[in-house]
Amino acid sequence: MATLDPLDAMLLTAELISSPMHVAVALIMSPPKGMTGTAFIDEMYEQGLTAPDPIDPRLRRRPHRGVDTGGLWAWREVADLDLSHHLHRLTLPAGSNTTALWELVSELHAEPLDRSAPLWMAYLIDGLVGDRCVLYIKIHHIVVDGVAGLQMIADSLTTDPDRRGMPPFYASAVPDEPATKRRGFNPLSVVRDIAGAAVSGLSLARNVASAEVANIVGGLMTSTVAAPFGAPHTRFNAKLGPGRVFAATSLDRKRIRAIQDAADVTSNDVVTALVTGVLRDWLTKQDELPDQSLVALCPVTVRGRDAAGDDGHGNQFGLGLCPLPTAIEDPAERLSLVHYAMSNVKHQVAANGPGAMLIVLMPAVVPTALSPLLPFGSRVRPSYNLPISNVPGPRERSYFNGASIDEIYPVSVVYDGMALNVTLCSYADQIGVGYVADRDVLADIDDLIPLTEVALAELEAAVRVA
């Protein structure tokens, strides 16, 4: 019996009381030369429904819990997958711009996935201005994390613009193996899985204690370590409604690298400081900037960049709380503080392991998510205000059956107590920035796009990059 990891089981359960927990990506493409966007999307759709290629094992199983699993969440393979349930064909009004596309993505992203089937959906969309087209894919977070999901997409692409006859994106990267017949209820198997989970949990105790002490002491002694329940109240720490909004923009990686080299920091430090500047400017314009700096929840992957495939684990990341110096006016000082804060987060995850850091932060994460649902929730300070994550995409410009992949944008998760999510994705010579939020909390999410350029220019000026 293949049981879900504790983190995945927690995400699946949390979805019942909060919001859909899927991640997504939008690929904007130009059709092959001599072919219209509509014709290309029609061809992709037909191929997707009829291709004989074996389906990736992660995309042909669904979660199940019952007497036969001893009450544990376990994976159950779906023998006859109905691709027409998962693959859909949509058309934007002719000449639609990206604003219209993001409105459609917002609607699609708000819809939960059907648990009676494997937890993924794909939409092939034409009608974008310039005869461009779009592939929007959403997959539940328990199936893949952001790094594995982007690697799955990258594996389905090529750097050869002349290559044709490529398998669909959902195809397995390895030869298919005959599915084993599902076994009936086996008490010994259930006991073994429960015992294995218990032993694994006990082995975390030392690292958990170490991480807890480090967080408490660090939070008291330095502004670059965030202690639990130390974030200010903001509009982002609210109960969500059913609607979503999404906006995206693209950054030139050369500009990010110039700041990185000038300040002797990492590219992740630069984009985190950039988001800090965006939030500071936006909250100032709303007259809502807290005196105390915001705090971000930052996933730190423990996957190697080239080892993000199907290894049997949907999520392999730790979590850390990173102070965002929104109360600091000087962009250069903000960048320096972010650098030391992110270095501490990465050190904690590396030293104690992702499992230990997840356990340490659960008492902080759960109340932050639950407090908006409680009548006395406003009395409980949140531990963070929003998540910021940065995932690697394909390093080189890529193609699918001759279509150029022009831009890649991540669309991530929001839930109660966390109404805004910022996720970045590197691709070739650019970095896609995806802002997703609850519609009731941040209806004017488009305002963040021009502020992104302003924040980037401020950082360039602060470190004297022309």
The domain segmentation of the chain, as residue ranges, is 218-394+413-462
| Res 33: pLDDT | 95
The separation between the first and the last C-alpha atoms of the chain, rounded to the nearest angstrom, is 58
CA–CA separation, 326 vs 332, rounded Å?
12
Rounded to the nearest 5°, which phi and psi values hold at 89? Answer: -115, 120
CA–CA separation, 79 vs 182, rounded Å?
10
Pairing of strands 22-30, 403-411: antiparallel
DSSP-H helix ranges across 111-186: 146-155
Residues of the chain with pLDDT under 50: 177-222, 308-310, 312-314
From the candidates 88, 141, 313, 339, which is the catalytic residue?
Answer: 141
- Topology (CATH) of 218-394+413-462: Chloramphenicol Acetyltransferase (3.30.559)
Closest to 132 in 3D by CA, of 37, 260, 230: 37
- Rg, C-alpha atoms of the chain: 22
Spell out the residues 6+ positions from residue 81 whose beta carbon is closer than 8 angstroms to its own. Answer: 55, 59, 60, 117, 118
CA–CA separation, 446 vs 116, rounded Å?
35
CA–CA separation, 274 vs 286, rounded Å?
19
CA–CA separation, 32 vs 135, rounded Å?
15
**Which two structure tokens, joined as six digits, stand for 410?**
């991540």
Pairing of strands 399-400, 87-96: unpaired
pTM: 0.86
Contact 393, 233 (CB under 8 A): no
Rounded to the nearest 5°, which phi and psi values hold at 175? Answer: -55, 140
CA–CA separation, 132 vs 28, rounded Å?
7
Spell out the residues 6+ positions from residue 287 whose beta carbon is closer than 8 angstroms to its own. Answer: none
| Res 276: pLDDT | 98
Contact 126, 135 (CB under 8 A): no
List Cα–Cα distances, 163 to 133, 168, 246, 401, 402, in angstroms. 19, 13, 33, 6, 6
CA–CA separation, 244 vs 415, rounded Å?
11
Signed CA dihedral, 343, 346, 349, 350: sign only: negative
Is 141 a catalytic site residue?
yes
Contact 438, 236 (CB under 8 A): no
CA–CA separation, 359 vs 344, rounded Å?
17
CA–CA separation, 276 vs 326, rounded Å?
6
CA–CA separation, 430 vs 250, rounded Å?
6
List, in sequence order, every residue forming a beta bridge with 249; answer none if it has no partner: 433
Instruction: Please provide the DSSP assignment of 350-363 as one string.
Output: HHH-HHHHHHHHHH
